[in-house]
Amino acid sequence: MSSVQSIAVLGATGSIGTNCLDVIRQHPGRLRAAGLTAFSSVEKLKQQVEQFQPNWAAIAVNQVCDTSGFSSPSKPARTQWFHDLEVVPELVRRPDIDIVLSAVVGAAGLPATWAAVDAGKRVAIANKETLVVAGSLVMSRAAETGARLLPVDSEHSAVFQCLQAGRKQDLRRVVLTASGGPFRGRTKAQLREVTPEMALNHPTWKMGRKITVDSATMMNKALEIIEARWLFGIPSSQIGVVIHPQSVVHSFVEYCDGSVISQMSPPDMRLAIQYALTWPERLATTCQEMNWNVSHVHEFHPPDFEAFPALRLGFEAADMGGTCGAVLNAANEVAVARFLNCELRFDQITQVAEEILRNHQYDANPSMDRLLNLDGWARKEAVRWNT
Ligand code: NAD
Ligand code: MG
């Protein structure tokens, strides 16, 4: 892969999207932003369009956005604007797109990610919710079309890198590291008092609001267990979680001989994004290097399933598969929004997700329509869940 690769950056204005554009900016001869999408950050998207001059840009239909001002005699507009995100699945299928960076937040990322997989593109996948909701269908469609899913989630990028050290049949298990979020060490009772402001203050990563809250409840790790289950095609019994507060060891893989291979770097999402875009090549980055001239202490602790029951739900949903991921994810998305709106307590986020998961009509081999219906059902249940 040495020609310039054209990238559709879905969710360009978010935390992953802006980091991706930073990576693209550093490798102008190799990477080009060919399409950009955003939901509501009109001004930010306009600035990005001006800077990266993509072939197209799309924003949600209800955003008032004057995009006429870009064309001038000295600088003719090369960007086609769409004021509707429903066109994005068709746009990513176009031949002018080589790689789709899927970085929309939530199940809203599914339609365009599916289209990219269906069209056989390389998909750099940050939007873990797509795999949580429809991992089985997405992976089997990718096998049919030749689409390649490259993980952007730092843990999954680490696992992907470590898996290159051995054979799949020699794998004992994959261990996902978790920072433990801002409330590591707190008891279940203490977690009742957590406010949105407290939950939005992550100790090691700067991320979008939804994933930051998910990290605090550890639902993020639950979603990552399900993501790993589909991405690597391994049962939940071969997935473990360990708390590593420093966020430097991004995950590890154990082989049958007892060897443990890990991937490490100072926490910076640009590294995982770049690897997904340039794999199998590695390019130099401006990311901070490990400094071996200072002392490091790296801790590893077992997770507290009592204080963070979301973790157990992740293992259960990964184990049962079928409709579980879609229901768990949708209920969690609404519960997080309600928590941020001060309608639910922090500990109720997981409670809502668990109750709705338990009450749903399980189907082991659902169609995409069934998954989307259940997603809608779980959202309604979570909206009307009373405290
Ligand atoms: P964010 O909230 O910072 O950005 C989300 C992006 O999606 C924005 O560009 C927004 O305009 C767009 N968007 C929001 N709602 C949308 C909708 N309904 N339809 C279309 N577009 C919409 O989120 P983020 O932190 O960048 O996370 C994006 C994804 O990457 C999530 O799935 C998250 O779990 C995953 N991820 C993020 C990180 C991180 O460091 N931020 C790490 C690992 C995985
Ligand atoms: Mg992660």
Task: Please tell me the number of the ligand nearest to residue 200's CA.
Answer: 1
Upstream peptide bond of 280 is cis (omega within 30 degrees of 0) = yes
155 Cα to the center of ligand 2, angstroms: 5
Q: Are strands 148-151 and 122-125 parallel, antiparallel or unpaired?
A: parallel
The span from the CA of 334 to the CA of 195, in Å, is: 17
The pLDDT score that the predictor gives to residue 61 is 79
Q: Torsions phi, psi of 99, nearest 5?
A: -130, 140
Q: What is the pLDDT of residues 11-69, one digit of tens each?
A: 999 999 999 999 999 999 999 999 999 999 999 999 999 999 999 999 997 766 666 65
Torsional sign, CA 286, 289, 293, 295: positive
Q: Give the length of the chain.
A: 387
The span from the CA of 28 to the CA of 110, in Å, is: 29
- Report the nearest-CA residue for atom 23 of ligand 1: 208
The pLDDT score that the predictor gives to residue 198 is 96
Q: How far from chain centre, in Å, is Cα 3?
A: 27
Tokens encoding 164: 């290159």
Mutational test site, ligand 1, from 61, 211, 227, max ligand atoms within 8 Å of CB: 211
- The DSSP code for 98 is S
- Report the nearest-CA residue for atom 2 of ligand 1: 208
The span from the CA of 375 to the CA of 328, in Å, is: 9
The pLDDT score that the predictor gives to residue 202 is 86
The pLDDT score that the predictor gives to residue 62 is 75
Task: Please tell me the number of the ligand nearest to residue 13's CA.
Answer: 1
Q: Is 221 in the pocket of ligand 1 (CB under 6 A)?
A: no
Q: Is 12 in the pocket of ligand 1 (CB under 6 A)?
A: yes
39 Cα to the center of ligand 1, angstroms: 10
Q: Is 217 in the pocket of ligand 1 (CB under 6 A)?
A: no
Task: Please tell me the number of the ligand nearest to residue 112's CA.
Answer: 1
For residue 24, which amino acid is it? I
Q: What is the pLDDT of residues 280-321, one digit of tens each?
A: 999 999 999 999 999 999 999 999 999 999 999 999 999 999
Q: What pTM does this model have?
A: 0.97
Helices 15-26 and 269-278: crossing angle in degrees, nearest 10, is 60
* Ranges of the chain whose pLDDT falls below 50: 71, 73
- Report the nearest-CA residue for atom 43 of ligand 1: 153
The span from the CA of 275 to the CA of 280, in Å, is: 8
211 Cα to the center of ligand 1, angstroms: 8
Query: In 3-state terms, what secondary structure has residue 122?
Result: strand
- Report the nearest-CA residue for atom 31 of ligand 1: 105
